[in-house]
Each structure stands twice: as structure tokens, then as C-alpha cells.
């Protein structure tokens, strides 16, 4: 199938128009005409090969929403014209214990990511900065028409990546929960933790984001550069979600966990973080991590958002401003997720 989008040709080249082929739909496939695509910081890490192993040309984008334009003969979940969403993975083995436990992102065979991966036939995958996508129905999600479609796009990565750990660690009423970094992931983590009934403290390096953090649901906001403000929260948190995209001192946050508290990393800085043993040995603390979420769990999150009227706060942008959007994301200067409008493709 003929497709077109924007691709990085190398780790130093800007994204430019790119024509490519997608597979013809198989009986279990859904074809989605993409209307909006969120810009995740992972797109930037990978386009610039900050994690290593990037495959070029690369069409980034894994926060995809649009309309179904064709379905294979086995597809019952969708019909032409339905709204649909695709997130970070487009395939997995479907038979390993993790796939069977709705943890396809941890597939033992290795899940196939939406871009910057080879699928099980060895063909490169291309993401959402493009006009369409072909995807097995098991990895395509139903989207409620109740919500603003552009603002739903970021739920497919930023949404599920924060929802999943908050659910896994059973965040709820009576708990003190911290969210570190008010970016795309952080602002969704803040909305969910608040919605689940926890007392939420937002950590930020940006004084300009204090008022927004409160509007988004923070009970308290701490400027993380202020050592005295940090010290006031020592050993008091049940759970902290670390959404920072760049290297930082994690010990400063581990020290804020109470007995048996957990700090979960979702941010993926390009270099290792150093952990002082005393930071975790004291108060029997846990340092954990979490990647996106399972397919059923992603649908559960989308349905929860439709019920509670939760979407991302977005800045719509156009393909001719991609380079500028990337620079602004790196500076932490976006409120709070860029979404590409495909009418500009
Ligand atoms: P983002 O929108 O750029 O947000 C990152 C935030 O981190 C910034 O807004 C800023 O918040 C803070 N920050 C940035 N540089 C910092 C620094 N040097 N020191 C302290 N704080 C800093 O990024 P995102 O799209 O939310 O993604 C965040 C990270 O999660 C990325 O590494 C991304 O690759 C990763 N990710 C992981 C998964 C997963 O499955 N685990 C999924 C998606 C993304 P303040 O201005 O509030 O300080
Ligand atoms: Zn992402
Ligand atoms: Zn599997």
C-alpha cells in the first residue's frame, strides 16, 4: 500500500517528506487513515538515536488516532468509518505468558513497536507521522466519539504509560503520590493520580508551570531545585512516578519515599542513573520501572477517559513546524503535548 509521511534519514537530519510502502491488509488487519499524531519525547530520543540501534529512514509517531478505511475479512471489532487508535506496539507473539496476561509490551519474543523496529517478517515498521497505518486488530483501540479526537491521541502513549503503573501500584485515596516532570507523560500522570483520589504532589523544575500544575489536579507543587522545599517532604511518599526525559539525581526523590514506598521510572534518559545504596536500603524502598501498558489495559484506560472526560492538554501543530516542536519539547516548553494535524501533511 502506498503511504507517505515525514522521516528522519539519519540521527542528525531533520524530518522531511518520505514516500514508502505498507503491507496490503491481511484478513486480521485494520487500515486507519491517520488524523492526528502526538509527538512523544521517545520520538526525539529515537530519531536522534539517543538510545542506540535506530533504524533509518524512520517515520516516528506512536500516538495515532484516525478513522478506519478498510478492514480484513476476519475483523469484527471495527467497520469502515469507526474511530480508531494505535499506540506504541503493533504486534507481539500472542502466545507467551506475558502476552496471555495482557502484558504484550513485555512479550518474551519481543513486541513489535510501531516504528523503529522490524516486524516478524523482517520488514521495518513506520509510525504515525504519516497518512495511514495497517495494523492487526488486536493492537487497534476503540475511541469514543465523545472526546476531542486530537486530544485523545496522546492517551495512546503518554496516557497508558502513566495509567498502567498508577493502577499496578494501586494508587488511590489516602496515599501521597508524587509526579516528577510536568511534560507529556507527567501531566497525564497528574490527571490520573488526582482522578484516582490520591493526594498528589507535582515536582517541576519550571516555576512557570506552578499554576498549571494546580489546575491539572496537584494538591501541592514543589520546585525540585529548592532543597528546603524538597526536605519538607522527606520520607513521606507512598509512590512516586518519575517522568523526566533527561539525566537527573534520582536519590533526591528516593529519599522522599516512606517505609516500603516505591519510585517507578517511566522516563528513559539516554544515560544510566546512579543510585546510592542508602537511598533504597533506608526505609526498605523500591526502585521500579514500567513500560506503556497491555492492549486490554489501554482500552480500559481509553474507556475510563471517555467516562471521566479526561484528555491531554495539547498544542496542535503542523508538519512544517516539526523541527521547532522538537526543540520546544527538549526545552520543556510545551503545554503539554504537541499533536500533529494531518490536514497539514
Ligand atoms: P516531555 O514532554 O519532554 O517531558 C519531560 C519533562 O521532564 C519536562 O517537561 C520537564 O518537566 C522535565 N525535564 C526535562 N529535562 C529535565 C532535566 N534536565 N532535569 C529535570 N527535569 C527535566 O517528555 P515525555 O514525552 O513526557 O517523555 C518523558 C520520558 O518518558 C522520555 O524519556 C520518554 O522517552 C519516556 N517515555 C517512556 C515510556 C515508557 O513506556 N516507559 C513511554 C513514553 C515515553 P518540568 O519542566 O516540569 O521540570
Ligand atoms: Zn511515547
Ligand atoms: Zn508474547
Residue with cell 545504596: 277
Overall fold of domain 2-157+294-344: Quinone Oxidoreductase; Chain A, domain 1 (3.90.180)
**Ligand 1 proximity of 181 Cβ (cutoff 6 Å):** yes
Q: Find the ligand nearest to 127 CA.
A: 2
pLDDT at 148: 98
Mean pLDDT of residues grouped by 10 in the chain (345 residues)? 97 97 97 98 98 98 98 97 98 98 98 98 98 98 98 98 98 98 98 98 98 98 98 98 98 98 98 97 98 98 98 98 98 97 98
Burial degree of 315 (CB within 10 A; 0-12, 13-18, 19+): middle
Half-sphere exposure of 246 (CA within 13 A, CB side): 9
- The residue extents of the domains of the chain are 2-157+294-344, 159-289
pLDDT at 191: 98
pTM above 0.95, yes or no: yes
Overall fold of domain 159-289: Rossmann fold (3.40.50)
Q: Are the folds of 2-157+294-344 and 159-289 the same?
A: no
Give the Cα separation of 261 and 274 in Å (integer).
19
**Ligand 1 proximity of 105 Cβ (cutoff 6 Å):** no
Output the DSSP codes for 59-87.
Answer: -----EEEEEEEE-TT--S--TT-EEEE-
Give the Cα separation of 154 and 204 in Å (integer).
20
Locate 58 and state its grid cell: 524512520
pLDDT at 325: 98
Distance from Cα 42 to the centre of ligand 2, integer Å: 5
**314 Cβ neighbours under 8 A, 6+ residues apart:** 38, 150, 151, 153, 154, 336, 337, 338, 339
Query: Of 114, 31, 23, 27, which is closest to residue 68 (Cα–Cα)?
Result: 31
**Ligand 1 proximity of 206 Cβ (cutoff 6 Å):** yes
**95 Cβ neighbours under 8 A, 6+ residues apart:** none
Amino acid at each position: 500500500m502506498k503511504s507517505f509521511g515525514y522521516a528522519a534519514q539519519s540521527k542528525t537530519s531533520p524530518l522531511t517528506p518520505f514516500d514508502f510502502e505498507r503491507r496490503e491488509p491481511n484478513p486480521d488487519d485494520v487500515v486507519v487513515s491517520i488524523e492526528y499524531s502526538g509527538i512523544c519525547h521517545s520520538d526525539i530520543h529515537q530519531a536522534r538515536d539517543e538510545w542506540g540501534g535506530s533504524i533509518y529512514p524512520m517515520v516516528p509517531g506512536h500516538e495515532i488516532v484516525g478513522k478506519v478505511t478498510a478492514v480484513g475479512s476476519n475483523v469484527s471489532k471495527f467497520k469502515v468509518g469507526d474511530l480508531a487508535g494505535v499506540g506504541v506496539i503493533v504486534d507481539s507473539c500472542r502466545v507467551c505468558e506475558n502476552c496471555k496476561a495482557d502484558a504484550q509490551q513485555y512479550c518474551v519474543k519481543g513486541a513489535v513497536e510501531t516504528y523503529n523496529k522490524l516486524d516478524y517478517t523482517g520488514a521495518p515498521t513506520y509510525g504515525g507521522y504519516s497518512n495511514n497505518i495497517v495494523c492487526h486488530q488486536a493492537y487497534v483501540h476503540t475511541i469514543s466519539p465523545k472526546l476531542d479526537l486530537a486530544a485523545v491521541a496522546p492517551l495512546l502513549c503518554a496516557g497508558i504509560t502513566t495509567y498502567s503503573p498508577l493502577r499496578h501500584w494501586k494508587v488511590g485515596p489516602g496515599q501521597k503520590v508524587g509526579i516528577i516532570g510536568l511534560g507529556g507523560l507527567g501531566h497525564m500522570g497528574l490527571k490520573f493520580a488526582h482522578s484516582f483520589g490520591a493526594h498528589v504532589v507535582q515536582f517541576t523544575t519550571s516555576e512557570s508551570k506552578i499554576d498549571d500544575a494546580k489546575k491539572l489536579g496537584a494538591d501541592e507543587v514543589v520546585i525540585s531545585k529548592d532543597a528546603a522545599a524538597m526536605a519538607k517532604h522527606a520520607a513521606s511518599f507512598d509512590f512516586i512516578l518519575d517522568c523526566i526525559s533527561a539525566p537527573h539525581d534520582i536519590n533526591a526523590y528516593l529519599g522522599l519515599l516512606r517505609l516500603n514506598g516505591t519510585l517507578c521510572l517511566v522516563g528513559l534518559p539516554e544515560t544510566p542513573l546512579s543510585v546510592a545504596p542508602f537511598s533504597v536500603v533506608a526505609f526498605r524502598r523500591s526502585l521500579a520501572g514500567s513500560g506503556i501498558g497491555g492492549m486490554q489495559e489501554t482500552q480500559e484506560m481509553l474507556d475510563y477517559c471517555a467516562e471521566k472526560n479526561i484528555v491531554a492538554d495539547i498544542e496542535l501543530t503542523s508538519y512544517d513546524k516539526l523541527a521547532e516542536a522538537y526543540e520546544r519539547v527538549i526545552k520543556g516548553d510545551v503545554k503539554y503535548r504537541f499533536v500533529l494535524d494531518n490536514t497539514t501533511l
